[in-house]
Structure 1
Amino acid sequence: MTDNDRTTPPRPSLRRLAGALLEIVQSRIELIGIELTEEKERLMGVAFLGLAAMLFGVLALVSLTALVIVIFWDTYRLQAMCGIFIVYLLLASWCAMRARNILRDAPMPFEATLAEFEKDRDALRPD
């Protein structure tokens, strides 16, 4: 054995390095897929419940509106209609502001994937 063979550390083969990189990329893509599936399921559930709530809410409001107008038809029909309008307007404004706040405060999509990419980048940086 020569001195040159003893002093050079063994180098990983290019094929092993490429294989390791491909495994890292594959695991990150799988993580993205899992997060996409979770986000889709969450959004579908929220959308369904939101639509059902709106449907039943509209039915209740129509019934309540008719009831109030019938009750006050002979005495205060215009005031009753204006009062109902104001209540509906306030509720619609509150719902719009609440929806805006939920969207603004939502967590960033793919947060776990981005964190893993950050860890990978930090691990591959030279010291």
Structure 2
Amino acid sequence: MAEASSSGGVRGALRGLLVTALALARVRLELLATEVQEEKARLLGLLVFGGAAILLLVAGIVFLAAFLTVLLWESHRLVVLGFFAATFLGAGFGMAMVARRYAVEGSRLFEASLGELARDQAAAEKAKSQSS
């Protein structure tokens, strides 16, 4: 009889240790997810300043296109205007498709892992309470 209760105590202690380990792993993973969110905020800043740089470069390209159009106004103005219009529209459409793909994909970083750890922790706590 004493052996049965001591083995149950060991099992209970092991289950308690498992519950604690799962809780600790979950906390660590949540901290990692928080760090990833902070990294995303940093990348957003990079995106804003990178976007501003790209916008200014595009403005420079537009002015260059206008300059070349005015320069060749007498001889090839329609060719130059058609070339730049097709180039800008094609590049814009391509970038819009890439941006749409990124927007649709989204991000579910660690969502499944956190859910699995929560289910593991709940199952271990349930097993612990049933053994008590």
TM-score by length of 2: 0.63
Aligned to 2:42: 41
Q: Distance in 1 between matches of 2:95 and 2:74?
A: 33
Whether 2:3 is the aligned partner of 1:6: answer: yes
TM-score by length of 1: 0.65
Matches within 5 A, 1:1-127: 4-8=1-5, 9=7, 10=9, 11-12=12-13, 23-62=24-63, 64-104=64-104, 108-111=107-110, 114-115=112-113, 117-118=115-116, 121-122=119-120, 124=123
Structure 2, gaps ≥5 residues long: 128-132
Structure 1 or 2: more helix by fraction: 2
Distance 1:51 1:59, change over 3 A: same
Deviation at 1:51, TM superposition (A): 2.3
Q: Distance in 1 between matches of 2:52 and 2:24?
A: 42
Supply the AA of the counterpart residue of 1:101. Answer: R
Q: Distance in 2 between matches of 1:74 and 1:114?
A: 64
Higher relative contact order structure (alpha carbons within 8 Å, sequence separation ≥ 6): 2
Q: Distance in 1 between matches of 2:61 and 2:86?
A: 17
Structure 1, gaps ≥5 residues long: none
